[in-house]
Amino acid sequence: MKKMTINGIVAQVEDYWTVLEACRFYGIEIPTLCHHEGLSPGGICRLCVVEIGKGERTKLVTSCNYPVEDGLVVRTHSERVIRDRKMLVELLLARCPSSKTLQDLAAKLGVQRVRFKVKDEKCILCGLCVRMCAEQMGAKAIGFAGRGKERRVTPPFDIKSDVCRNCGACMYICPVCQLRCQGPEPPNVVCGACLNVEPVCLQDNDDVMCYLDSCGWCYNLTLRVL
């Protein structure tokens, strides 16, 4: 066991935990988009950032892949952390403005407008689908290609894959391929009005159907994989 301080409280944690696991064990909510307990940590979306250190010697780290340490001092909701998370949510919303997951997260953080140019690319490049396909399905039918603005998720060499099982796992785990916000809001405005409201589709269908009938990005990707 190790001892660390989380938000001013001394906590005992397991040696093999990450900071995110330690915080969640003690009931501290930290937002994540690219993290899943059944997959290796990615630290890609950076929404799980926390502030570590003392005094002026502090830094922001991704809690999902930062190991716990004896004497570590962590602040999960400092002014610096919240400011960084808000900026990240704005950037993600500029890529996927219709994602209900992002809309709800923005509402929780108090983000009301997006100051960046909206592109609606329907993918936040979190890598969950890539890791799910490789680590749980054992297929490696999709992966990242390109760099910078050209980075995208695609089958190897952009050709149809012969190892895809058509399992739909990539669509199921995608954090923005769930329900799309259909509200009539003007551009760059965050709704959040549907926060904590049960999706209408769950009344007649299971959650898998909700995932499969949504943004269309994963659906088109699957067509290229098949």
Q: What are the sequence ranges of the domains in the chain? A: 1-120, 125-178+197-226
Cα of first residue to Cα of last residue in the chain, in angstroms, is: 47
Cα distances (Å, whole numbers) of residue 82 to 37, 55, 110, 122, 125 = 24, 18, 10, 25, 22
In sequence order, what E strands does the chain have?
2-6, 9-13, 49-54, 57-62, 73-75, 143-145, 152-154
The distance between the two most distant Cα atoms of the chain, rounded to a whole number of Å, is 55
Predicted local distance difference test score (pLDDT) of residue 180:
53
- How many angstroms separate the CA atoms of 122 and 43, rounded? 20
Judge whether 210 and 202 are in contact, CB under 8 Å: yes
> In 3D, which of 73, 31, 34 has the Cα closest to residue 48?
31
177 versus 143: the higher-pLDDT residue is: 143
Q: Give one word for 157, left, alpha or beta, with left for phi > 0 and alpha for psi -120 to 50.
A: left
224 versus 25: the higher-pLDDT residue is: 25
Predicted local distance difference test score (pLDDT) of residue 189:
53
Indicate if the pLDDT at residue 196 is higher than 70.
no
pLDDT band at 132 (very low <50, low <70, confident <90, very high): very high
Query: Measured on CA atoms in the order 113, 114, 119, 123, is the torsion positive or negative?
Result: negative
Predicted local distance difference test score (pLDDT) of residue 168:
87
* Assigned CATH for 125-178+197-226: 3.30.70
Predicted local distance difference test score (pLDDT) of residue 65:
97
Indicate if the pLDDT at residue 207 is higher than 50.
no
* Assigned CATH for 1-120: 3.10.20.740
Percent residues over pLDDT 90 in the chain: 59
Indicate if the pLDDT at residue 208 is higher than 60.
no
Q: What is the pTM of this model?
A: 0.78
Percent residues over pLDDT 70 in the chain: 78
Predicted local distance difference test score (pLDDT) of residue 188:
54
Indicate if the pLDDT at residue 217 is higher than 80.
no
One fold for 1-120 and 125-178+197-226:
no
37 versus 211: the higher-pLDDT residue is: 37
> In 3D, which of 101, 121, 94 has the Cα closest to residue 199?
101
Rounded mean pLDDT of the chain? 83
